[in-house]
Amino acid sequence: MKHILSQHLGKRSSLIPFLQDIQKEFGYLSTKAIDELSRSTDISANEIYGVATFYTQFRFSPPGEHTVRVCQGTACHVRRGRQILNEVEQQLKIKAGQTTEDRKFDLERVACLGCCALAPVVVVDDKVHARMTAKKISSVLSQYKGRQTRKK
């Protein structure tokens, strides 16, 4: 936290980069981090929340181990991206925007990842899976499920 704070000294315009760095480091914006940020920048916590809640990027609870992002951009939509999302929701037993109970998966909807030519697209962590089908998605997800059990 300290090195993040020391990087963008006191400029109001650094607020968003600040929040981005904190989220990158800790995975989310905790109350503690925001309080600390508020103290060292003289921007009230209220104001910080005001800015942070405006942008969909920021989250206020710890993320799951893997983040599954299902593209709902136009190109993916017209190639049945909605069905892919339904399928993932069913398999993980959560809705978009939620985290599985065991905190293994986050599920997010995103608008276009820039791979429209290969629609529909699903991203797990940083890996883009193109030309998804309802059938393919379960093998993709099980890859990640498998990986965790091995880790333990």
Partner 1 sequence: MTSLQEAFTKARIQWDKLQDSKVPIFFVGAATCGRAAGASEMLERLRGYIKAKSVDALVIEVGCLGLCYLEPLVIVHKPGAPRVCYGNVGPDEIIAILENHVLGNDPCAQWALGKVTAGELEGIGDFNEHPMLRRQVRRILRNCGLIDPENSYHYLARDGYRGFLKALEIGPGKTLEEVKASGLRGRGGAGFPTWRKWQFCRNAPGETKYLICNADEGDPGAFMNRSLIEGDPHAVLEGVLIAGFTLGASQGYIYCRAEYPLAIHRLELAIGQMRELGLLGENIQASGFSFDLTIKKGAGAFVCGEETALIASIEGGRGMPRPRPPFPAESGLWGKPTVIQNVESLGNLPLILNNGAKWYAQYGSESSKGTKTFALAGKVERTGLVEVPLGITLKDVIYDIGGGIPSDKVLKAVQTGGPSGGCIPAEKMDLTVDYESLTEAGSIMGSGGMIVLDEDNCMVDIAKYFLSFTQEESCGKCPPCRVGTRAMLSILERISAGEGEMADLDKLETIAQTVKDGSLCGLGQTAPNPVLTTLRYFRKEYEDHIEKCRCPAFVCSQMISYHIDRDRCTGCGACARICPVKAISGEAKKPHVIDQHVCIHCGACLSTCPDVYAAVYRRSGELTRYEARREKRDKTN
Interface residues toward ligand FES, by CB under 6 A = 71, 73-76, 112-116, 119, 121
CB of 40 to partner 1, least distance (A): 15
Residue 73 binds partner 1, judged by CB under 8 A: yes
Q: What are the residues whose beta carbons fall under 8 Å from the beta carbon of 31, sequence distance 6 or more?
A: none
Instruction: Please state, in angstroms and as integers, the Cα–Cα distance from residue 108 to each residue in 11, 25, 73, 142, following that order.
Output: 32, 20, 13, 18
User: Is the Cβ of residue 67 or residue 149 nearer to partner 1 in the bound state?
Assistant: 67
Strands lying side by side in the sheet with 127-129: 105-110, 66-71, 122-124, 127-129
Residue 16 binds partner 1, judged by CB under 8 A: yes
Binding site for partner 1 (CB under 8 A): 11-17, 19-20, 50-51, 54-58, 72-79, 83, 86, 90, 110-119, 121, 126, 128-130, 134-135
